[in-house]
Amino acid sequence: MKEFKVTPIRNGTVIDHIQVGTALKVLRIIGVKEDVNSTVSVLMHVPSKKAGWKDIVKIEDRELDPKELDKIALISPDATINIIRDFNVAEKFVVEVPQKIVGIMKCANPGCITNKNEPVEPEFVVESKKPITLRCIYCDRVTTDISENVV
> Which residues make up the interface to another protein (CB under 8 A)?
107, 109, 111-114, 116-120, 136-142
Give the angle subtended at the CA of 134 by the CAs of 141 and 94, to the nearest 5°: 170
In contact, 70 and 98? CB cutoff 8 Å = yes
Q: Which is nearer to another protein, 44 or 137 (CB)?
A: 137
The DSSP letter of residue 23 is H
Least distance to another protein, CB of residue 122, Å: 10
Least distance to another protein, CB of residue 67, Å: 21
Q: Which is nearer to another protein, 62 or 138 (CB)?
A: 138
The closest of 81, 66, 68 to 26, measured between CA atoms, is 68
Least distance to another protein, CB of residue 111, Å: 5
Q: Which is nearer to another protein, 20 or 102 (CB)?
A: 102
Least distance to another protein, CB of residue 131, Å: 15
Residues in contact with 22: Cβ distance below 8 Å, sequence separation at least 6, in sequence order: 55, 75, 76, 147
In angstroms, the CA 126 to CA 151 distance is 17
Q: Which is nearer to another protein, 9 or 107 (CB)?
A: 107
Least distance to another protein, CB of residue 140, Å: 7
In angstroms, the CA 3 to CA 109 distance is 48
Q: Which is nearer to another protein, 47 or 110 (CB)?
A: 110
In angstroms, the CA 17 to CA 78 distance is 6
